[in-house]
Amino acid sequence: MFENVNLVVGAGISGAVIAANIAHKLDEKVLIIDKKNHCAGNCYDFKDKNGITIHKFGSHIFHTSDERVWQFLSRYAHFNTYMHRVFALIDGVETTIPFNFNTLYDVFPKTLAKKLEKKLLDNFAYNTKVPILDFQKSKDKDLNFLADYIYKKVFLNYTIKQWGLRPAEIDKNVTSRVPVMISCDNRYFQDKYQGIPVCGYTKMIENMLESPNIEVKTGANFNDFKNLKFKRIFYTASIDEFFDYQLGVLPYRSVSFKFEEYERPYYQKNSVVNYPDNYDFTRIHEYKYYLNENSAKTVIAKEYSSEFQLGQNERYYPIVNEKNTTLYNQYKYLAADLDNVWFLGRLGDYKYYDMDKAAARALECFDEVFNKKINITSERYVNKD
């Protein structure tokens, strides 16, 4: 019954990209399943009663410098030109992060800020990013003071709250995501393309899956399909779950959100404000900023991090360190013996992917599986609204 059907497990961005390519480019049948009761995975958003687009699982800001990814996703959604900025409460001052020259003048007296700015420019190239752990290695007394200040006030406690670990216990590829900016650029990302789908992420994913070749089943468990024979399986759920945890459970951090509605136009001055040292939550999201939506009310979400517990909460962020990577590689070794099964996505690859990297990985997986032999002369476009 399913021998000529491709099964895609997970209807998030990774699964949707691979499913759309198979259906639109190869004209093959795809069944895409997801245990959630909706498409789009953790990118899922919806309009609430106030007309505000809510990102149910935390703010999702699309950004990329990958032309191929941008062109692909732009077939299925119009993006606005939103460029993300993040504020943080540091010593009672609400200022921009990553820490840059503007932050310097916000939190220090002008004379000291000017002295530190000169030292930074003497030691680092302008408009570069310096990972905070590398920044601490400077032998200059003033730069050591600044590094220690940023480490303690911005990085240390936030990292412990978010990851449940100290920075040195986490893979450097994760900690390097929080750099010191040797510039006045207040944008959180510097990618060429940035924005939010005007139609919403959920609609973008639905547009990808709009094909007579694609059947979508939400609220569906892979265990109900794993003994059926499919042409190919593309698995974006957690790789340890596929193997019934026979080698152990891969560790993740989970996240929960406390949503609050206020009868005023805005709650805070920015879409996201981080709280490195204050309160138990890591940050507050205010969603109406993303699409510049007008409403007399506003909705915020306070974000709390916790340890992932199987059956109790959701996986969000792989905790990538030497021990966990070893366990993942053992599962990857088991996967190598499977025929016509491919793992991808944040959970399948056990990697901290941003959305563009997840999409790029899915496009690369398609190329790999089908050996780039498909000559595409035209692409299918759908209604983006």
* Full set of structural domains in the chain with CATH: 5-83+194-245+319-369 (3.40.50.720), 86-181 (no CATH)
Average pLDDT over residues 134-160: 86
What does the block give as tokens for 178? 């929080």
pLDDT digits (tens, 9 = 90+) for 195-228: 999 999 999 999 999 999 999 999 999 999 999 9
Of the pLDDT bands very low, low, confident and very high (cuts 50, 70, 90), residue 246 is: very high
pTM of the model: 0.92
Query: Average pLDDT for residues 351-368, to the nearest whole number?
Result: 96
- What mean pLDDT is predicted for residues 277-300? 97
Tally of CB atoms within 10 A around 381:
11
Burial 72-99 (b: 16+ CB within 10 A, else e): bbbbbbebeebebbbbbbbeeeebbbbb
Q: Are 209 and 29 in contact (CB under 8 A)?
A: no
Report, as an integer, the average pLDDT of 82-101: 96
Report CA torsion sign: 360, 364, 365, 367.
positive
What element of type H or E holds 91?
A: none
Q: pLDDT band at residue 380, thresholds of 50, 70 and 90?
A: very low
Q: Which helix (H) or strand (E) holds 1?
A: none
Residue 376 clears pLDDT 50, i.e. is over it:
no
Residue 328 and residue 315: Cα distance in Å, rounded? Answer: 15
- Please answer whether residues 148 and 136 qualify as being in contact, where contact means their C-beta atoms are separated by less than 8 angstroms: yes
Taking 70 as the threshold, does the pLDDT of residue 373 lie above it? no
Helix (H, G, I), strand (E, B) or coil at 261: strand
